[in-house]
Amino acid sequence: MRKNHLHIECYFLTILFFFSLISCEKKIKPKEKEIIKETKDTTSKIIPKIINKGVESSYLKGIWINDDNPVFEINKDSIYYIDEDKSYKYILTDNTIKIYFDNYTYQGIVDFKNNKKTLIIKDSININTYHKEQEE
């Protein structure tokens, strides 16, 4: 009789232990989900600030060459293409340049290297690199 009683007590304790584990697990999971949500919210707010770095328009001004040939001269509000002997209006917003050609609008991301002497414009297809002509 005593063995049977002991067996029932062990069974009862096992069931009690099992239910206590389940109840603890349910309490921990929502907190983990909240932490993950906070992390996602935090990073989504930080990333745009890093990506949207502004470019000083004064860095663009000057004559830019590609393969030793002058390609264009950037002024305050226009880009003069030397081969075409024609100027086009442009707008610089943060690090994005829009050039308004006669038949379409070009858009690219502007970046600089080599102490602002190398201009890189990346669009959806190409990465164009230009070097600033040295002033004499």
Between 90 and 21, the more confident residue is 90
Given a cut of 70, whether residue 69 has pLDDT beyond it is yes
Q: Provide the token pair at 91.
A: 């707008």
pLDDT of the residue at 56: 82
Q: Provide the token pair at 118.
A: 């190398």
| Sequence ranges of the domains in the chain | 1-51, 57-132
pTM strictly above 0.85: no
Query: Any idea what DSSP says for residue 64?
Result: E
pLDDT confidence of 91, banded at 50, 70, 90? very high
Distance CA(1)–CA(7), nearest Å, equals: 10
Q: Provide the token pair at 81.
A: 């293409």
> Residue 112 in contact with residue 119, Cβ under 8 Å?
yes
Q: Provide the token pair at 64.
A: 């830019």
pLDDT digits (tens, 9 = 90+) for 9-50: 656 566 655 556 556 555 544 444 444 444 444 444 443 333
